Amino acid sequence: MQQYFVPGPVTNPYQVQEKDLLKHLFSVLRLQEGEQLIFVFDQGEKWQARLIDRDAVLFELEQSVPADKELPVQVTLACAYPKGDKLELVAQKATELGVHQIWGFPGQWSVVKWDAKKLAKRQEKLRKVVLGAAEQSKRDLLPQVELLESQAELLARFTDFDLVLVAYEEAAKAGERSRLAQALGQLVAGQRVLLLVGPEGGLSPQEISSYEERGAQLVGLGPRILRAETAPFYLLSAISYQLELLGNQ
């Protein structure tokens, strides 16, 4: 059954008003009266809905649907700006893997340099990518996307998290393979985790020092060196395995 995120509050019957969604429902899906779908309202409240009036775009909310698709911990992914459209790929797949928030920030060794105007345009595009991925993967909550103008903004937010993990290429080269497993083994449901990944050129020594000064842990991601766009998927998959498949929370 198709799922769509809609703004609250929950009302029954519910009238769809968003132009993009209306176009999709009736021009793409060609939805007819009596057909069903799932609406996800603010705060993750899900309802199975049936179209009862096509002209007025009214849906009857028939029954609530369990909201059980989120990771046990809230994971924020912070990526130094990569080249090209890699951040779109990261946003899409990270959403499917359960990320709670996605941040971009200018790394010291990032090749791309985006001004405020371009950041706003990119942010809007990424939010559309995340919306589609969240609907496809039947998420309960829509991940938030924010592109930061400075690394100082990122550093100021470290205190909001219970755990900050930095994927560090030099740690992997040195054979460090235990810190990630140890850190994930200590996670408990409800905690807030920040995952930080550098750009193609990696993270500078100055950046690493500033992260460690604020309590971040440097972790290697196995014996192979991963691309900037691959590391987030490794980390999110490891968290899912630890907390959802093994049930350790």
Domains and CATH numbers, the chain: 3-65 (2.40.240.20), 74-245 (3.40.1280.10)
pLDDT score of 190 more than 70:
yes
Determine which of 118-122, 177-181, 209-213 has the lowest per-residue pLDDT on average: 177-181
* Distance of alpha carbon 131 from alpha carbon 144, whole angstroms: 10
C-beta separation of 196 from 211 below 8 A: yes
Looking at residue 184, what is its pLDDT?
Answer: 95
DSSP string, 85-122: THHHHHHHHHHHTT-SEEEEE--TT-S----HHHHHHH
Instruction: State the average pLDDT for the chain.
Output: 94
Does the pTM of the predicted model rise above 0.85? yes
- Residues in contact with 14: Cβ distance below 8 Å, sequence separation at least 6, in sequence order: 6, 39, 47, 49, 58, 59, 61
